[in-house]
Amino acid sequence: MTTHETTGGPTEGPTEGPTEGPTRGQGPLPRTADVEARLRADRGAPLRRPRVPVTAEDGADVAFAVRETEIGRVLLAVGPAGALVASTFVADDVALERVLRRLADAVSPRVVEAPGRTSAVADQLAEYLAGERRGFDVVVDLALATPFQRGVLERLRGVGYGQRTTYGAIARDLGRPSASRAVGAALGANPVCVVVPCHRVVAGSGALTGYAGGLEAKRRLLGLERGPEAAPASPA
């Protein structure tokens, strides 16, 4: 089974575009003096994403799949123990590569495209977007979040389906009442969107503000959850 080591540059096979220094099969690797040139070349090289059989259970520390959904293009990734480490919007390939590199840096350098290993959360996401479920039965690992982000995201546990809270309320709950903007920035970089429901956070005025998937996606998610049983927003 093929795996992909994402650190240290390309592992084997040709790459597209110009590179600096010799490549495998063309002579010895660059010596210490050429390290800077190698790093420049590696940064410009796209990640190769080998696929593995959908029945694979081992052989890769991070498995991911990209899904087209009603709210946009979403990358789902699970870590070594099967916990969800990413549910994030990737509007284009540049955004996709950025997330894959973050996974390689924070979780494991071995990252493979393995749809079968993400199928459980993918099915739950589809059910949620179809209005067939109100929560997710998955273990979440906030490996891609900063310590401050983790504190912010933990506050969302008490904001249930159909409820809303505000940036100011979360800031006060953290003991930092003037940190509304920092809270907004932390939520805007939420690595586990929808599953950890940052879309339920709005401005004190009730207005919808920034969202990683765009305001239209946020409207659709809140509209999906809106109904006769929806609870009122938390105090601003």
In angstroms, the CA 151 to CA 79 distance is: 21
**Phi-psi category of residue 162: left, alpha or beta, with phi > 0 → left and psi -120 to 50 → alpha:** left
Q: What is the C-alpha to C-alpha distance for residues 108 and 189, in angstroms, rounded to an integer? A: 20
Q: Where are the beta strands (DSSP E) in 70-155?
A: 72-78, 84-89, 111-113
Q: CA nearest 104: which of 163, 64, 162, 51? A: 64
Separation CA 48–CA 3 (nearest Å): 10
- Other CB atoms closer than 10 Å to residue 190's CB: what's the count? 26
Q: In 140-179, which ranges are continuous DSSP H helix?
A: 147-154, 167-173
Backbone angles phi, psi at 88, to 5 degrees: -135, 150
Strand partners of residue 73:
68
Active site residue 193: no
Catalytic site residue from 62, 75, 198, 221: 198
The span from the CA of 94 to the CA of 220, in Å, is: 25
Closest CA to 17 of 35, 39, 36, 42: 42
Residues taking part in catalysis: 198
